[in-house]
Amino acid sequence: MPVIPALLTHAGGRPSVEALEASLLAGQTLLADTPEHVLEVVDVLNSYGVVLDAYSKNLIFQAERQFLNPFPVFRFLDGDLSPAKIWRHLNGDRINFEYAEYCMKAMLWHGTGGLDAYLDSEPFAANCKAIIRHKTGRDPLLALLHPLFPNFLPEAIRAAATTHALGQFWRVMSDLFLDLARAEADGTVRNIAEVVAFIKAGLVNAAANPITYGVHLGGERFWVLPPEAGLTFLVDVAVPYVEAVFLRGMPFLGTVSFNAQAQQISPDQAQFAYGALYADPLPTMGAGIPPSLLMQDMYRHLPERLHALYRQRSRGEGDVRVKICMSFQKSMFCVTNAAIDGTFPHALGTAVPAEQAANRAYARAWAERLAVARTDCLDPFGS
């Protein structure tokens, strides 16, 4: 039997902007509702929840215990410096915390939302000044560095603040995804619409959670993100996170490389479309593609039910990370779906024409961005 190349390729669906807008306005889910999709999304979010738990703990550890450490060699060890832990770390038998750092840097660099605005504010600069004054008094290396590079320490504090904020965000998301897995196991969540509703409810519940961050230096406590800054979970951290990590991302060199001089990368950061929703699952595990680290981490904690499903498909264990990436994109569309649902300017059932128009414009803006994302994974059979 000759091999016909076209039979070995699969082109998923590509919904138009109008179709996506209509789905969002009608309150329908973007991801097709099939039992297999429910299994994939719930189980992959379950493993993601476990990984996020580790990421979150580590980010908070880094921000609090490795604060302004110029040589944070042991920052991934969570304070456990036992030889066994170091050996496992050097062997690669560990969670890839580098991915969490990559997400933090994406947030810091894209810099959208309330957190970034606060990091540019006068009160934050005053906090930094106080911290640096205190720290340089005790640390001769930093005392030498600061006058030479006056932007270095404030920038390090901004990074630490973003690290801590992301750690707090992922703490909530980790618990939410693990709760989702329990809800599906006990039959409370049975279809994709209920998955989206569950995530949306979780986001809405946590929406007003305050985001604060303080550090202890020599027995004295300093605020980096004080309560009076009024930073909250949804608007100031979750939305910038979605913007930076789901949508914009960074054009890393992978199997496809970009030539910035030939304008293959937009000079306008806001136009970036390299985030998780746009990532090509095929080059996972290629050199230089950070999301592949996440796939590897999720693979370590994959529920057996999903693992068994993967083993039956295509190359079984051989291309398991590609399949995890595809399921992960499905689940991220559900999370995005929940975030959009939860942030419509007005209730979807409103009869006021002006409110309807505002909702339409909001849905349209999202649909235009999502139409060029990897929507091929949304099909019922787009596994």
Partner 1 sequence: MLSLLLLIPFLGAFVLLLSPSNPPPGRMRAIAITTLALQLLWSLRVLLAFDPHQGGMQLQDSLSWVPMIGLDYRLGIDGLSLPLVLMNGALTLVSAVCTRDISQRPRIYFALLLLISGAVNGAFLAENLLLFFLFYELELIPLWLLISIWGGTERAYAATKFLIFTAISGVLILGAFLGLALFTGTVDFSLTPILSERLSMGSQLVLLVSLLIGFGIKIPLVPFHTWLPDAHTQASSPVSVLLAGVLLKLGTYGLLRFCLGLFPQAWALVAPWLAIWAAVSVLYGSLAAIAQRDMKRMVAYSSVGHMGMILLAAAAATPVSLLGAVFQMVSHGLISALLFLLVGIVYRKTGTRDLEVLRGLLNPERGLPFTGTLMILGVMASAGLPGMAGFISEFLVFRGSIGVFPLATLLCMVGSGLTAVYFLLLVNRAYFGRMAITPASEDPSADARLDIRLSGVALRETLPALGISLAVVGLGLVPAGLGWLSETTATAMAELPALLLAASHGGLG
Q: Which residues of this protein are in contact with partner 1, per CB under 8 A?
A: 2-6, 8-12, 14, 255-256, 280-286, 314-315, 318-322, 326, 372, 374, 376, 382
Please say which residue, 113 or 382, places its beta carbon nearer to partner 1. 382
Q: How far is the CB of 331 from partner 1 (least distance, A)?
A: 18
Q: Which of 7, 20, 34 is nearest to 191 (CA)?
A: 34
Distances 221 to 169, 203, 215, 229 between C-alpha atoms, Å: 22, 30, 6, 17
Q: How far is the CB of 374 from partner 1 (least distance, A)?
A: 7
DSSP-based three-state secondary structure for 80: coil
For the record, the structure tokens of 21 come out as 């807008």
Q: How far is CA 135 from the centre of its chain?
A: 32
CA atoms of 378 and 383, how far apart (whole Å): 9
Please say which residue, 19 or 217, places its beta carbon nearer to partner 1. 19
Please say which residue, 56 or 375, places its beta carbon nearer to partner 1. 375
Please say which residue, 154 or 281, places its beta carbon nearer to partner 1. 281
For the record, the structure tokens of 148 come out as 């030479």
Q: How far is the CB of 289 from partner 1 (least distance, A)?
A: 11
Tell me if 95 sits within 8 A of 51, measured CB to CB: yes
Q: How far is the CB of 285 from partner 1 (least distance, A)?
A: 5
Residues in the chain, total: 383
Place of tokens 């006021």: 352
CA atoms of 228 and 236, how far apart (whole Å): 14
Q: How far is the CB of 283 from partner 1 (least distance, A)?
A: 7
Please say which residue, 283 or 291, places its beta carbon nearer to partner 1. 283
Residue 219's region, left for phi above 0, alpha for psi from -120 to 50, else beta, is left
Q: How far is the CB of 4 from partner 1 (least distance, A)?
A: 6
Q: How far is the CB of 14 from partner 1 (least distance, A)?
A: 7
Please say which residue, 280 or 355, places its beta carbon nearer to partner 1. 280
For the record, the structure tokens of 330 come out as 């499905």
DSSP-based three-state secondary structure for 364: helix
Please say which residue, 7 or 26, places its beta carbon nearer to partner 1. 7
